[in-house]
Amino acid sequence: MMLWCTLTYLLPLFSTVAASPVGRELDVDCSPDSSSGLKPECWAALEMDKYITDWMAANGTAAGCDTLGFAQCYLQFNGLTTLTCDRITSSTCPPPSSRFTYSSNQHFYALWNIYAVYQFFTQYSQALSNGASLAGQTVDKIVATVAPPIEAQQPASSLMNILGSTLGVASLFTGAIPGDAGTILGLIQTGLSQALLAKKNLPETLVKPSQTADDRFIQLGDIGSSLANLVKDYQNNLLETVASIQRDHTLFTAACGQGGFSQRVTASLTIQSAQLYRQLQLFILSSALKANGIVSAKSTGVDALQFATQTDEISCTALSPGGFCNQWWLDGEGNTYSFHNPGDTRNTHIELTKTIVQEEWATLDQVFQIEDCAGKEPEFDAASLGVRCIATHGFCEWNYQPTYAETRREPQFKNCPNDPKWGYLCSSWENRLLVPESYLGPLLIEGRFGFERQDT
Ligand SMILES: *[C@@H]1O[C@H](CO)[C@@H](O)[C@H](O)[C@H]1NC(C)=O
C-alpha cells in the first residue's frame, strides 16, 4: 500500500515513457534526475521536435528569437540570461544545473541539448587544435619521404574538404553507442548530417576556404608548417556552422533528432589526434605520389604469393602485417597491387611501401584500391560527414599477354598509356624484353618466354 502511494505521488514528476528509437520497446525515465541518466531515446519519447516547434510558435516572438536565434532566445526566455551557447568558447555554457527547477522533462531536455551541441563543437575544436602540431610534423615526414617536386601544390579548397572529414571522425568517436548485434549507432553523426543536408549552404560554410588567405594554392612542402593556420580557418567555419545549427530551430531539431545529444558528450576528449588527422595523412601521401607520377598498378587475377612459387624473378614467401611482401600488396581477392612510376621503372618502391605501413600513414588498401577516384578531387560529402576520394593518384591495370609477340603488340595497360620505355629489347641480338619492377605477368615464368627483368 505504501509503495503504491509513493508511485502515484511520483508519477507526474518522474513520468515513465515508452520509446522505440532503437527498434525495441523501452521504458525510459526522462526526468532531469533520472537514476539511469540521460537517454538518447528521450528525444523521441518526449516528442521534442513537436515541443520545440510549438514553443517557437507560441513564444518565439516574445522571446526575440528573430534576432537572438533559437538557442539564445530559449535560454534567455527561461531566465538563463548570462549564458552563450551558440559559439565555440571555453566556458560560456555550463551544463544545466541540477538545482534548477524545470517546468517539464521537455524543458530539461531542450536545455540539455543546447548545452550538448555547444559542448560537442567546443571539444571537437579543441581536439583539432591539440592535434595540429603533431599532424603537421607527420605531414612534413610524408612529404620528405615521397619527395615530390618542390613546386607541387594543392588548392586550399581541397585541404578544407579534407579537414571537413574530421567532423565525421569526431562525431563517431563521441556520439556512438553500442546497438544490437554489435553495431554502432552513430547518433551524433547521423543527426549532424541531417542538419547539414537540411540547409543547402551549410556544408559549403563548413569547408569553404579562408576568405582572407592570399594563397589559393599551398605547396606540399609548406602544408605541415601552415597546418595550424589552416586549422584556424577551419575552426572559424566550424563556429559559423554551430551558430547556424543553434540559431535555427529546424536545424537544431534535425541535429538533435536522433538523440545523439541527449546523452553526456564527453568521449571526444579521448579523440587521438592521429585518428582525427588520418585522412589528411592519406591525402598528403596521395598528393605527393601524384606529384611524382607514381601510380597504383593492379595485376588482376595474379596472386603474388602463389606466383612467386613459379618463378625466381620475384620473391614473396609470406605477408607482413599490412598484407604485403616486398613491393606487392595482396587484396585478399586474388589480385596484387604495386606502386609504379612510368618514368622510373627500375624502382621497386619496397621501402616506401614498408614505411607507409610502419608509420601508419595509411593502410595499403587505401593507397592501392583507388580505381574509382584516380584523377578526381576530394569532395566533402554531407551525408557521411566524410570525403569522397581522398586518394586520387593514378591507377593503371596491367594488360598481361601470354606471349612475347603479343606483349610487344598490345598496350601495356588496360587504361593508361604505355611507359615511355615499354617494349625495349634488352639487346639488339636477342628476343628479350625489359619489364618494369611492377610487372607480375606470365612472361616472368622461367624458360617459357625468354623475358628478362629490367634490373638484371
Ligand atoms: C511558452 O512559454 C511559457 C512560459 O515559459 C510556457 O509555460 C509555455 O508552455 C510555452 N508554450 C509552449 C507552447 O511551449
In a domain, 256, yes or no: yes
Query: What is the Cα–Cα distance from 160 to 158, expressed in whole angstroms?
Result: 5
Q: Are residues 385 and 417 in the same domain?
A: yes
Query: What is the Cα–Cα distance from 264 to 175, expressed in whole angstroms?
Result: 9
Name the domain count of the chain: 2
Domain boundary among 247, 282, 317: 282
Is residue 58 in contact with ligand 1, taking CB distance under 6 Å?
Answer: yes
**Measured from the CA of 104, which atom of ligand 1 is nearest?**
9
In a domain, 30, yes or no: no
Predicted confidence at residue 270, as pLDDT, reads 52
Which of the listed residues 49, 55, 78, 100 should we mutate to test ligand 1's pocket, taking the one with most ligand atoms within 8 A of CB?
Answer: 55
Predicted confidence at residue 272, as pLDDT, reads 61
pLDDT in tens, 177-233: 666 655 567 899 999 999 999 999 999 999 999 876 666 899 999 999 999 999 999
Query: What is the Cα–Cα distance from 154 to 377, expressed in whole angstroms?
Result: 10
Domain boundary among 282, 305, 325: 282
pLDDT in tens, 378-429: 999 999 999 999 999 999 999 999 888 888 899 999 999 999 988 776 666 6
Query: What is the Cα–Cα distance from 379 to 371, expressed in whole angstroms?
Result: 16
Domain limits for position 214 = 106-282
Predicted confidence at residue 181, as pLDDT, reads 58
The per-residue DSSP string of 123-183 comes to HHHHHHHHHHHHHHHHHHHHHHHH---TT-EEEHHHHHHHHHHHHHHHHHHHHEEE-GGG-
Q: Are residues 156 and 261 in the same domain?
A: yes
CA of 75 to the centre of ligand 1 (A): 13
Percent residues over pLDDT 90 in the chain? 71
- Do 444 and 336 contact (CB within 8 A), yes or no? no
In a domain, 60, yes or no: no
Q: Are residues 276 and 308 in the same domain?
A: no
Q: Are residues 221 and 340 in the same domain?
A: no
Q: Are residues 113 and 176 in the same domain?
A: yes
Three-class SS of residue 426? strand
Q: Is the pTM of this model over 0.75?
A: yes
In a domain, 41, yes or no: no
Percent residues over pLDDT 70 in the chain? 85
**Measured from the CA of 78, which atom of ligand 1 is nearest?**
5
For ligand 1, atom 13, name the residue with the nearest CA.
55
Task: Show the cell assigned to 243.
Answer: 551558430
Predicted confidence at residue 8, as pLDDT, reads 26
CA of 22 to the centre of ligand 1 (A): 30
- Do 193 and 257 contact (CB within 8 A), yes or no? no
**Measured from the CA of 57, which atom of ligand 1 is nearest?**
13
pLDDT tens for the chain, 456 residues: list them.
233 322 222 223 333 444 444 444 457 899 998 888 899 999 999 999 999 999 999 999 999 999 999 999 999 999 999 999 999 987 899 999 878 889 999 999 999 999 999 999 998 998 899 899 999 999 999 999 999 999 999 999 999 999 999 999 888 877 666 666 555 678 999 999 999 999 999 999 999 998 766 668 999 999 999 999 999 999 999 999 999 999 999 999 999 999 999 988 765 445 566 688 999 999 999 999 999 999 999 999 999 999 999 998 899 999 999 999 999 999 999 999 999 999 999 999 999 999 999 999 999 999 999 999 998 999 999 999 999 999 999 999 999 998 888 888 999 999 999 999 887 766 666 667 888 999 999 888 865 445 555 544
